[in-house]
Amino acid sequence: MLYSNLIRPLLFKLPAETAHDITIRQLELLQNSYLGRGLIKLLSGHVESNPVQVMGLNFRHPVGLAAGLDKDAKVIRGLFQMGFSHIEVGTLTPKSQPGNDKPRLFRLKEDHALINRMGFNNEGSIAASRRLKKRDPNWGVVGGNVGRNKITNNENAIDDYIASMSHLRDYVDYFTVNISSPNTPGLRELQQEEVLKKLLTKISDDNSKSLKPRPLAVKISPDLSKQEVQSISRLAVTCGFNGIIGTNTTVNRIGLKTKANRIKDAGSGGLSGRPLTRHSTDVVAWIKEAVGDSAAVIGVGGIFNAQDVIDKRNAGADLVQIYTGFVYNGPSMINNIQKAWIK
Ligand SMILES: Cc1cc2nc3c(=O)[nH]c(=O)nc-3n(C[C@H](O)[C@H](O)[C@H](O)COP(=O)(O)O)c2cc1C
């Protein structure tokens, strides 16, 4: 209530990225004091426990925060305090990089959606690992989402993934290999079967040989055919991956309510939120059909309410993650939607 009546109207008066940055800064301050954490809890409400075990990890309940909101792992304590069972930090690259020119994040309020072309702006996986070192494992599960630097070409992409994973390995519980962001030129080409096979095999081999092998997930795009989704999912399982995350944002703009000129002004980038709900649920069902129980399915895309969670679960999801719904509905949605999860 406090979020939708007071905080959101104030934040939505600001440009989208400014609102995001202010929120992160406030959370950084609040999470570090007992009083601040109490305030976060008050705002978020009580989140009940509803334990699930996925990829060999124990989750307090099935609802987590999707990658991209806390790219640099600055506010995981505050976010866990809100009630998320898991937080996926990143996408992290081995070297820090500024991302694309601003403006690069836009609200489509009529559509309950966002368009972003952030371009993996992040301080690098070493800086994130220093922050994650201080985390208490009891707060919840942390996933490390990794990608390649913009200046690295696809031939050398493997080295970037492996480097970030070695920086983060001691401090995260699972890894997500991001091959589906539309905002790093050429990244989605890594989803081509032969290229992907090489990438996933190398990552998986490196992971198994390490002192602390972690469960591995791959995050895929919603802009693939059913056949592509299913062959990528099967390939990931063959390569030893434990989870498939569907989906990232879409480059599709069909059926939006927002005026065409505003959508055009926003320009290129990935669309998230309500327009993605149904299609990402379909993708979850395609993944489940392909992998059965041989890998976990993590459903992401346009989750705003309990029904959206039920739909993802019925399609085969073992966990769900939210981003845009959280921006629109605030932290009190976490408990409401996780209660809908009864398996
Ligand atoms: C501003 C913004 C930044 C994002 N950054 C990343 C990212 O760095 N890595 C990633 O894997 N996904 C990223 N995503 C995609 C989300 O994790 C999620 O897959 C997508 O937005 C669909 O979920 P939603 O409809 O609940 O937002 C980003 C999304 C948004 C809106």
Q: How many domains does the chain have?
A: 1
Edge-to-edge strand ranges of the sheet holding 270-273: 105-108, 113-116, 270-273
3-class SS letters over 48-110: CCCCEEECCEEECCCEEECCCCCCCCCCHHHHHHHCCCEEEEEEECCCCECCCCCCCEEEEHH
Instruction: Select from 248, 308, 329 the residue to mutate for testing ligand 1; criterion: most ligand atoms less than 8 Å from CB.
Output: 248
CB of 104 closer than 8 Å to CB of 116: yes
Which CATH number characterizes residue 331's domain?
3.20.20.70
Average pLDDT across the chain, whole number:
94
Q: Is 118 in the pocket of ligand 1 (CB under 6 A)?
A: yes
**Domain-embedded: residue 14:** yes
pLDDT for position 258:
84
Least confident of 47-61, 189-203, 271-285: 189-203
Q: Give the range of the structural domain holding residue 58, as residue numbers without chain letter.
A: 2-338
Whole-number Å distance, alpha carbon 172 to ligand 1 midpoint, is 19
Instruction: Select from 251, 283, 323 the residue to mutate for testing ligand 1; criterion: most ligand atoms less than 8 Å from CB.
Output: 323
Determine the atom of ligand 1 nearest the C-alpha atom of 219.
11
The tens digit of pLDDT for each residue in 165-212 reads: 999 999 999 999 999 888 888 888 887 888 899 999 999 999 999 999
CB of 337 closer than 8 Å to CB of 308: yes
What is the chain's alpha carbon radius of gyration, rounded to the nearest angstrom? 18
| Rounded distance between C-alpha atoms, residue 8 and residue 103, angstroms | 20
Say if residue 343's pLDDT is above 60. Answer: no
The tens digit of pLDDT for each residue in 73-102 reads: 999 999 999 999 999 999 999 999 999 999
Whose CA is closest to atom 11 on ligand 1?
67
Helix, strand or coil for residue 181?
A: coil
The mean per-residue pLDDT over the stretch 261-273 comes to: 88
**Domain-embedded: residue 187:** yes
Determine the atom of ligand 1 nearest the C-alpha atom of 248.
19
**Domain-embedded: residue 23:** yes
The mean per-residue pLDDT over the stretch 51-57 comes to: 97
- Region of 90 please: left (phi>0), alpha (psi -120 to 50) or beta: left
Q: Which residues contact 62 (CB under 8 A, 6 or more apart)?
A: 50, 52, 54, 85, 309, 313, 317, 318, 319, 320, 338, 341
Whose CA is closest to atom 3 on ligand 1?
68
Whole-number Å distance, alpha carbon 35 to ligand 1 midpoint, is 30
pLDDT for position 220:
96
Whose CA is closest to atom 23 on ligand 1?
301
Q: Is 273 in the pocket of ligand 1 (CB under 6 A)?
A: yes
Catalytic site residue from 44, 85, 164, 181:
181
pLDDT for position 72:
98
Which of 202, 96, 92 shows the shortest CA–CA distance to 143?
92
Q: Is 276 in the pocket of ligand 1 (CB under 6 A)?
A: yes
Instruction: Select from 102, 112, 249 the residue to mutate for testing ligand 1; criterion: most ligand atoms less than 8 Å from CB.
Output: 249
Q: Is 91 in the pocket of ligand 1 (CB under 6 A)?
A: yes
pLDDT > 90: what percent of the chain?
84
CA distances from 259 to 252, 253, 255 (A): 15, 12, 11
**Domain-embedded: residue 343:** no
The mean per-residue pLDDT over the stretch 36-44 comes to: 94
Burial 321-334 (b: 16+ CB within 10 A, else e): bbbbbbbbbbbbbb
pLDDT for position 59:
97
**Domain-embedded: residue 252:** yes
Determine the atom of ligand 1 nearest the C-alpha atom of 303.
26
Q: Is 280 a catalytic residue?
A: no
Tokens of 85: 């069972």
Whole-number Å distance, alpha carbon 65 to ligand 1 midpoint, is 10
| Rounded distance between C-alpha atoms, residue 342 and residue 115, angstroms | 32
Tokens of 267: 């320009």
pLDDT for position 261:
83
Q: For residue 34, what pLDDT band results from cuts at 50, 70 and 90?
A: very high
**Domain-embedded: residue 214:** yes
List beta partners, residue 174: 143
Say if residue 110's pLDDT is above 60. Answer: yes
